[in-house]
Amino acid sequence: MWEVIVKVAGEGGGNCLYGLKLLNGSWVYSASRDERILAEVLDEVEWAGLMDSLYSRSNIIRDWNHVATLLGRSFFLLSPRVVHSEFNEKIWAMVSVNNEISYHRLRSWAELCFPEKDEMERRLLQINN
C-alpha cells in the first residue's frame, strides 16, 4: 500500500510524495501536485481550461536521488504537513542544507522530522553553528 512520505501545503494546494515498500525492502516513489483548491476562485470557463493542469501525478521512480525533482525545486519553502518516520533523516538532509529557507519554516520541518523536542532543538543548533 502506498504511504505518504512527505506532504507540503501552499495557498493553492500542495505536493505529496508517496512511497511503496517492496518485498525486498526497497522503496519506489511517486508524487502528486494538487492545486484544485484554486478552482474555488475560478469561473467555469477558467476552471474548464485549467482542470487538467491543477492536478498531476508523476511516474514511478526507484532512485531517492531523483525525489527532489518529483517534489519541485522549492518544496521545502512550502508548509510541511507530514514526514514519514522512516524518512525523517533523508527529508531533513534535503531541507536543512538550503539557505533560502526561513528559520520559522526550518523549525516547522524540524518539528515534523524529530518529534522529540530535545532532538529537534539539537538539530536546529547544529545548523546555526
Structure confidence at residue 124 as a pLDDT band (50, 70, 90): very high
Mean pLDDT of the chain: 85
Question: Tell me, what's the pLDDT at 85?
Answer: 96
Question: Tell me, what's the pLDDT at 33?
Answer: 82
Give pLDDT tens digits for 14-39: 889 999 999 999 999 999 887 655 55
Cell triple for residue 42? 475560478
- Nearest CA-CA partner of 18 in 76, 82, 100, 96: 82
Instruction: Identify whether the C-beta of residue 106 lies closer than 8 Å to the C-beta of residue 95.
Output: yes
The answer to whether residue 61 scores a pLDDT higher than 70 is yes
- Nearest CA-CA partner of 4 in 37, 35, 27, 36: 27
DSSP of 56-108, one letter per residue?
EEPPPB--GGGHHHHH-TTGGGSEEEEE-GGGHHHHHHHHHT-TTS-HHHHHH
What global pTM score does this model have?
Answer: 0.82
